Amino acid sequence: LQSLDGEQKEAAEMDGAGFVSRFIYLTLPHMSRAITVVILIQTIFLLSIYAEILVTTNGGPGYASTNLPFLVYQKALLEFKIGQASAGGVIAVILANIVAFFAMRAVGKNLDK
């Protein structure tokens, strides 16, 4: 946010842009690369959380704190449903690749500017 040019903000204010307009048309586009990287890192982090769930809640109550990696663990090693666990693993990889594809595409588009 500190690298956002003050002259642009001042020009938008002089043109009559309100706070919401300045945020949508100036601040958000300026932060798009950072937002994209944060989304990518958080997705990777979400797909890597396993031990915390196992130690603290063991996926419960019910399935309230279960995420996809923990569900794969439950299906494979506790219920011995290898097919369902394999499908869950494939879905996790596909989801991670989809997020990474769009994130890299957005970062690449911003680098071209």
Instruction: Examine residue 11 and state whether it is found in any structural domain, yes or no.
Output: no
| pLDDT of 105 over the 70 cut | yes
Instruction: Examine residue 39 and state whether it is found in any structural domain, yes or no.
Output: yes
Instruction: Examine residue 5 and state whether it is found in any structural domain, yes or no.
Output: no
| Rg value, the chain, Cα | 21
Instruction: Examine residue 96 and state whether it is found in any structural domain, yes or no.
Output: yes
| Alpha-carbon gap, residue 37 to 41, rounded angstroms | 6
In percent, how much of the chain has pLDDT > 70?
96
For residues 9-29, give the mean pLDDT: 87
The domain total for the chain is 1
Instruction: Examine residue 10 and state whether it is found in any structural domain, yes or no.
Output: no
pLDDT at 111: 67
| Alpha-carbon gap, residue 41 to 103, rounded angstroms | 10
Is-contact 46 25, C-beta < 8 A?
no
pLDDT at 80: 95
pLDDT-based confidence at 74, cuts 50/70/90?
A: very high
Range of the domain at 90: 32-112
| pLDDT of 77 over the 90 cut | yes
Instruction: Examine residue 22 and state whether it is found in any structural domain, yes or no.
Output: no
